[in-house]
Structure 1
């Protein structure tokens, strides 16, 4: 017999409210970033400052990441239909992958520009750079605060947040560089500050790609050991064997489990199934489970089980 433990209407409703709130905060951050980006492009062109125009390009990727996140959230909110039995929830993970990849690509471009500036530093108006960067810090702090109010357990929101946070670091580094250039005339400060930002961008980008890649490859949620979980289920009184145990994440924050449970001859399948479901919810917060429960003496079940087989010691 099989059983699918569903979330229920109340669970869906709470997700909807959270998603609406996330969209509002992301939209506010998008308006802040887009508005300042346009101002920075104009100031950068007037001051002939490549540093400010580069920061504006960075803000363009921030805006793109938020738009991508908003589109992915709308796709993920659509109900399952046709062949997409889980809906389009993985759209958020694809968005997180895109955000991580753009961070790495932008970091590579900024590293090239930084090295080029160290070799042949251009003349930059330090005062104008400092003032504009300080304004950029205020705008990015506000945008980062808006994104921090959204659900950052979602890799989709976290990807947009990392973009804005790295842009904040970029503006801080640019402001420091602008101050140094203004006070000392050391124009290579701009390139040095950019390299510091590149390191932070690469770290954030690699982290996003690693986490989203685990979900796309159906890996178990971080911190959950399938081997230990299988042994724990096999130790439940009345369980003879556990196999075909799979634990994965549909999207960030939505783990799922399926398993084939064999109970001892004469055991109460329904009672054991209920006990296992209670254990999974209470100890591991796994409330989306599909369990096939049969008696161990039954014939024709899983001639070749997939994965490790767990038995009571």
Structure 2
């Protein structure tokens, strides 16, 4: 394919928008998620709680998804005007989502194996300690929702409607 053919086939719509505040909030949530993941995995192992262990690994998939999302977002932003990507860089976010789903599926399989092992080799669960960590995890999840919520949208109508 020649340069002339490339220009004829190019499509210049860009679907990547820059949101510096959203990127910064995502970094905060990533940090919270990684810390919570480590606390839940360690606590789940120490207290014998499969629920904490599973939630910790689930938080790990969230952390991986955030990293994949940040990478694809930055890569797409960096290459949004690159003629090599004739149909834009929007497809990177789709591939990132697919990769995140594969990682989540792999963690689910590992948790299934661990659950089967514990079904046949039960451990004593220290509920009082585990519930404190679970509440902390829930609080971090709620804080993450608030941090990632987009406050800049508007649903008002600036014109009159006549609905006869």
Partners of 1:25 and 1:149 within 8 A in 2: no
Q: CA deviation at 1:84?
A: 1.8
Partners of 1:26 and 1:150 within 8 A in 2: no
Aligned pairs for 1:259-274 within 5 A: none
Q: CA deviation at 1:6?
A: 6.7
Aligned residues: 143
Q: CA deviation at 1:136?
A: 0.7
Partners of 1:29 and 1:146 within 8 A in 2: yes
Partners of 2:50 and 2:115 within 8 A in 1: no
Name 2:89's counterpart in structure 1: 88
Q: 1:99–1:109: structure 2 CA closer, same or farther, 3 Å change rule?
A: same
* 1:230-277 alpha-carbon deviations (Å, 9 max, x no partner): xxxxxxxxxxxxxxxxxxxxxxxxxxxxxxxxxxxxxxxxxxxxxxxx
What is the rounded CA distance, in whole Å, between the counterparts of 1:70 and 1:130 in structure 2? 32
Aligned pairs for 1:11-50 within 5 A: 15-16=17-18, 19-50=19-50
Q: Is 1:124 equivalent to 2:125 in the alignment? A: yes
Partners of 2:34 and 2:59 within 8 A in 1: yes
Partners of 2:69 and 2:96 within 8 A in 1: yes
Partners of 1:26 and 1:66 within 8 A in 2: yes
Q: Bigger radius of gyration, 1 or 2? A: 1
Q: 1:48–1:6: structure 2 CA closer, same or farther, 3 Å change rule?
A: closer
What is the rounded CA distance, in whole Å, between the counterparts of 1:104 and 1:119 in structure 2? 23
Name 1:265's counterpart in structure 2: none
Higher relative contact order (CA 8 A, sep 6+): 2
Partners of 1:49 and 1:124 within 8 A in 2: yes
Partners of 1:69 and 1:92 within 8 A in 2: yes
Q: CA deviation at 1:80?
A: 2.8
What is the SS of the residue equivalent to 1:85? coil
Name 1:63's counterpart in structure 2: 63
Higher strand share: 1
What is the SS of the residue equivalent to 1:76? helix
Partners of 1:75 and 1:89 within 8 A in 2: no
Instruction: Name the TM-score, length of structure 2 as normaliser.
Output: 0.69
